[in-house]
Amino acid sequence: MSLHPPIEPMLAKATPKVPAIDALDGGVSYEPKWDGFRVIIFRTEDGVIIQGRGGDDLAYVFPEAVATAMETLEPGTVIDGELVIVLEGRLQFEQLSQRIRPRSEAGGWKITELSEQFPTTFIAFDLLQHKEESLVAAPYSERRRRLIELSRQWSGTWFVTPATRDHVEATRWFSEFEGAGLDGLVCKGLNSIYSPGARTMLKVKHARTADVVVGGWRAYSKPGPDGQPIVGSLLLGLYDDAGRFHQVGSAASFTMARRLELLEELKPYEVAADAVHPWLQPDGHTRVPGGPSRWTGKKDLSWHPLAPELVAEVAYDQMEGPTPQAQRFRHVARFVRWRPDRVATSCLYDQLEHPVRYDLESLLSSVERLA
């Protein structure tokens, strides 16, 4: 039976360490976890559909991926993978986020301009259908073999993800590949079928903690029981060597009860909107919270300033940014605990880990060897 969009992508559940080779059915295929936009590409008789995680068609945002799909895929082909942007040998999620933001309201000229300035690379990791032949019930080892055969027709901007069945090598990958901007590892059972929407794979990601300063908070989308704004997210900052206080991200995902508790805990640090605060009087060199813009539409990004004195420990996975002292958390951080023993000005960038750089080109050139 021919596959049609939308198809829920197969998902992975987290595991704390690289799993043993016999952890999944038929043995494990260890693969890099790409930090990009998960998509399923459908090559139809009429054109190309690039289905995003939400089921929407992103083809108009990525015209360069559509052009490559039209040239290299036969009608009736469906491929699961990730769109990424590679610059200077590393994944660049920040530039990728810019690609998705313009949408139609920014006009076609902006989409075309960004596709030329920051073109995407497609990393394929599963073949669901080929020339109307559904492969979802085939074992993963067979789907991957067919995918590699198909990829020999592709251009230099499309690749099949590397894979290994060696636990020792996978463990080394987990450490080394972070230097290229990858997220961790995904582990798949060699005998597993493709199960849309099911968490039948495993994933292991990097996890770290840092002591940061809470410089403000944003309100939750829903008010508290008395109609008052309550804490939706904490705005987090670090000091650089010059003493500038930069926003480096946010912490969120609190329960409703915890949001109300945070409101009380933050009251002693509240300051007026016209108070002296490094994020209220930016010097042009300091990263500060932004307000609504054409990128965010009507989303309210206003925030409540706090005296930068309260220190919190947060868990995070990776940083992103051009230099070690111009970075921020790639994803939303998780609040761990308050650190009343820390002085705010001692929370510097130097506490962060900086992985050794790893060139993505050498990784992507290894696909055939690791098939």
Q: Residues 238-267: pLDDT tens digits?
A: 999 889 999 999 999 899 999 999 999 999
Whether the pLDDT of residue 322 is over 70: the answer is no
Q: Give the dihedral sign, CA 364/367/370/371.
A: positive
**In this structure, how many other beta carbons lie within 10 angstroms of the beta carbon of residue 32?**
27
Q: Is the pLDDT of residue 144 over 50?
A: yes
Tokens of 122: 């497609």
Of residues 312, 347, 351, the one with CA closest to residue 333: 312
Q: Which domains does the chain have, with CATH numbers?
A: 11-205 (3.30.470.30), 208-351 (2.40.50.140)
Q: Is residue 179 packed enough to be buried (19+ CB in 10 Å), middle (13-18) or exposed (0-12)?
A: middle
Cβ neighbour number for residue 309 with a 10 Å cutoff:
13
Q: What is the pLDDT of residue 285?
A: 76
Compare 125 and 156 and report the one with higher pLDDT.
Answer: 125
Comparing 45-49, 112-116, 159-163, 188-192, which segment has the lowest mean pLDDT?
112-116
Question: What does the pLDDT read at residue 199?
Answer: 93
User: 149 or 356: whose pLDDT is higher?
Assistant: 149
Percent of the chain scoring above 70 in pLDDT: 89
pLDDT tops 70 at residue 93: yes
Residue by residue, DSSP assigns 254-277 as: --HHHHHHHHHHHGGGB--TTS--
The residues that are catalytic are 33
258 Ramachandran zone, left/alpha/beta (phi>0; psi -120 to 50): alpha
Supply the DSSP string of 76-110, one letter for each residue: TEEEEEEEE-EETTEE-HHHHHHHHSSTGGG-HHH
What lies within 8 Å, CB to CB, of 141 at 6+ separation is 26, 29, 190, 191
Q: Among residues of the chain, what percentage have pLDDT more than 90?
A: 58
Minimal CA–CA distance to 250: which of 266, 230, 235? Answer: 235
pLDDT over 80 (residue 298)? no
pLDDT at residue 296 above 50?
A: no
Nearest to 80 by CA among 34, 118, 22: 34
What is the arithmetic mean of pLDDT over 3-18?
92
The burial class, CB within 10 Å (0-12 / 13-18 / 19+), for 61 is: buried
b/e map 342-365, b = 16+ CB within 10 Å:
bebeebebeebeebeebebeebbe
Model confidence at 111, in pLDDT bands (50, 70, 90)? confident
Contact predicate 83/120, CB 8 Å: yes
User: Does residue 105 surpass a pLDDT of 50?
Assistant: no
Classify burial at 323, counting beta carbons within 10 Å of its beta carbon; exposed 0-12, middle 13-18, buried 19 or more.
exposed
Between 119 and 88, name the one with better pLDDT: 119
- Write the burial class of residue 194 (CB in 10 Å: 0-12 exposed, 13-18 middle, 19+ buried): buried
Strands 11-14 and 199-205 turn out to be: parallel
pLDDT-based confidence at 156, cuts 50/70/90? confident
Q: Average model confidence (pLDDT) for the chain?
A: 87
Question: Where does the pLDDT of residue 108 fall: very low under 50, low under 70, confident under 90, or very high at 90 and above?
Answer: low
Q: What is the pLDDT of residue 255?
A: 92
Cα(292)–Cα(307) distance, integer angstroms: 23
Taking residues 13-19, report their average pLDDT: 92
